[in-house]
Amino acid sequence: MANSNPSYYTNGSETGQIGRIPEICLSFPSKINSPGMPALLLEKNRHETLMDYSAPRLQFQIVVGFVLTQMIHSVLKILGLPMFVSQMLAGIILGPTVFPNFYSLINRSDESVAALGALGGMGFVYFLFLSTVKMDVSLTFKSGKKAMYIGVLTVVVPLISCMITIKMRHPGINFFTNRVFFLAISYAGTSFQVIHCLLSELRILNSELGRLGLSSALIGDMVTLLLTTLSTWVTSGIQHGALGVLKDIGMASIFMFIVLFVLRPLMKWVVNHTPEASQIKHICFYFVVLAFMLSARVGHFFHINPKYGIIIFGLAVPDGPPLGSALVEKLDPITSGLLLPIFTTTCGIRFNLTAIKTPNQYAKDHAIGATVALVIKFGVSLVLAVSCKMPLRDSLALALIMTSKGIVEIGSYSVMYDKQIISDALFCYLTIMIISVACIVPVLVKRLYDPSRKYLCSQKRTILNSKLNQELRMLGCLHVPGHVNSIIHLMHALCPMKESPISLDVLHLVKLSGRATPLFIAHHKQIKTISEKSYSENVIVAFNEFQRHNWEAVSVNVFTAVSPPNLMYEDTCNLAMDRLTSFIILPFHRRWSINGSIESEDQTIRGLNFDILERAPCSVGIHIEVRRSNFRGTSPAHHSSSYKIAVIFMGGQDDREALALAKRISQNQCVSLTVIHLKAKTSLGNILAENGQMLDDEMLRYIKRSVKDLTYIQEQVKDGPETSTFLRSIVEDFQLIIVGRRYKSKDPQTFGLEEWCEFQEIGIIGDLLSSLDFVGNFSLLIVQQQLQRAA
């Protein structure tokens, strides 16, 4: 509706003219752009304010909403509440409930509310599309029985309970003519998008519980969609007869045929003809976006709800790179950063607490029905999880996850409210229920489920506790093709033998992009994976070749984990637990060229290394390749027939672990081991160091006694600069240098180097050896022994 002052015109020349004077009311077009603050303040004849113009009013509404949201979230995030709750509360505060005068100021007419609502509605539409693009519907057919039972029964049983409750309170009600069945589905349904957002915020998306919850949510969402479509057709049949519903089904079938058998093959053809690791062509990207924007209108033409037209087209778009990931990467920032928060805030603005004071019988029945559906959904999820022999804490967490509600539910109820399908009182009650659940579920799930609990094992998984004649289980992580050669070079440096074999598990970590569901693929199992997309083919070929050249000395299994970068540590630690790994090898995040300049650097890898160092259920090593030109000539180590390895030893559990690894390597007759023992001229009087001195001395005596080709160098140094000078003179003589991490250890040998340490994850000595001050051609392995944590 237009918002402007009407202009009145009379039909006569004088107001005193005999007879009735007709009046004509003309509504001028709305005023969009203001003349500016100076004009509004200085011109005397102007009676308008800035809020009389739609453009600055809309900008003011957005700014106030964002500022208020951030203020609220700065407090609520301390309690662990999600951003969704802050956005809803900001909308409620801006609505007519809390400050009605301020609400009237910034919303002068229905037009101003409609403008903000239209912008927010666009965000909800984009959110639905991107969410369905990231969904892999094929997983519903390949999930386990546990996920299938939980997904189906947590929708069907609450739905029946809700309908029975409403029928008991109102015996004469018709389920379809009064939209009871349709609303009951919305109360009992499961939203994959909401559960995915919850698991992502809690950082348990690729945990064991997270995978089960995500699979169950996907199945539940498909069941909800199927029941909603069935409800729509049954209602149409009651209102328009059998011919009408057959026409709706036929038109919907034509739409789905066009989307699934014309547009989807066309998009898959584009994906298949896009070179690997290349981006989709711009014209193809724009075509998909245009088709998405038309899908709602075209779906309505084919007698399909516009929302479901968008969902069907989104499901038809191939997930993952290059098309799905391109859509998510380009559209998600503006959607989740601007448009969707506006939509959530506008949903809160609709809330009016005064309406709930005088609810009608219809609103009361549905409010009770919605509550019953929520409680029954929690109970069914809990019973099914316990019956599957899950721990009670995990079962409670899963039940809470399956009952979670959020942006999808409040968006659906807002649309129903605008279409007057539900009353003001019912909308208020449903809003309160959604906000309450969104507040309670994350807090309780975080308290009940801690995926790192399973890493708190008393069993020692270290190289030091592994027997020399037994297989050493190692896990090598890689991200980019360059890491393949690095791990293979390190394996050659470790000199595996038939008498002391190595079982190497290779984990290829791939960033989850354009998909919602993480993947974990075991390539050595001769089974069909859950994804048609091939991963890690070059990695498999390279390590199969390495295994053939080291037959009976090395066994290799390749795995691929496709997950968010901030959750990759879960895949790594879970695999290490399942495979009884004793040593995890991580790549360093920085690579140098031969002239010392930085070739590549990835801070995501560095953050992942920190997470694994803190949580790993075994010992960890970070591998660094130092390949810097030595202008004095080639190192003599390259001309030697033996492989020269050095261990820099200062004492402590990490250094003892490094010595244990070196001892295992030295069983190979081609290996020449040098132990460089740096002793302090003065002692800091560290009690813990004195207690560990006996273990250090015993380890050194064992190494001296058992290693034949051993060179033992004991050097006394007074501080860090003296240590640096000594190490600089000898590093070029070795091809592999093993160092203990010694995190947070203060020693006289490194005094003065702490403030120059750039990378804490590799320790002071590791950071020193990897600096530009050291030249040569050698590999550096930083070792951290398994951390012992109290359960």
**Sign of the CA dihedral 720, 722, 728, 731?**
negative
Summarised one tens digit per residue, pLDDT across range 12-58 is: 444 444 456 667 665 555 676 666 665 555 555 555 666 667 777 88
Summarised one tens digit per residue, pLDDT across range 150-201 is: 999 999 999 999 999 988 887 777 766 667 888 899 999 999 999 999 999 9
In this prediction, residue 530 carries a pLDDT of: 43
The residue-averaged pLDDT of 119-145 equals: 85
Summarised one tens digit per residue, pLDDT across range 366-379 is: 899 999 999 999 99
- What does 52-85 look like in DSSP terms, one character per residue? GSHHHHHHHHHHHHHHHHHHHHHHHGGGT--HHH
Distance CA 214, CA 191 (A): 10
Enumerate the β-bridge partners of residue 505.
Answer: 475, 557
Summarised one tens digit per residue, pLDDT across range 428-445 is: 999 999 999 999 999 999
| pTM check: above 0.85 | no
Cβ distance 649 to 614 under 8 Å? no
Summarised one tens digit per residue, pLDDT across range 657-705 is: 999 998 888 887 788 889 999 888 766 555 445 567 888 888 888 888 8
At 59, the amino acid letter reads Q
In this prediction, residue 710 carries a pLDDT of: 86
At 235, the amino acid letter reads T
Distance CA 251, CA 391 (A): 48
Distance CA 329, CA 323 (A): 10
Q: Which candidate, 456, 464, 493, places its Cα nearest to that of 619?
A: 464
In this prediction, residue 43 carries a pLDDT of: 58
Residue 629 or residue 749, greater confidence: 749
- What does 615-677 look like in DSSP terms, one character per residue? H-SSEEEEEEEEEE--TT---GGGGSSSEEEEEEE-SSHHHHHHHHHHHHHTTSTTEEEEEEE
Share of the chain above pLDDT 90, in %: 33
- Which H helix or E strand runs over 592? strand 590-592
In this prediction, residue 528 carries a pLDDT of: 44
- As a whole number, the mean pLDDT across the chain is 83
Distance CA 754, CA 763 (A): 9
Summarised one tens digit per residue, pLDDT across range 493-504 is: 887 888 788 899
From the number of C-beta atoms within 10 Å of its C-beta (0-12, 13-18, 19+), residue 498 rates as exposed
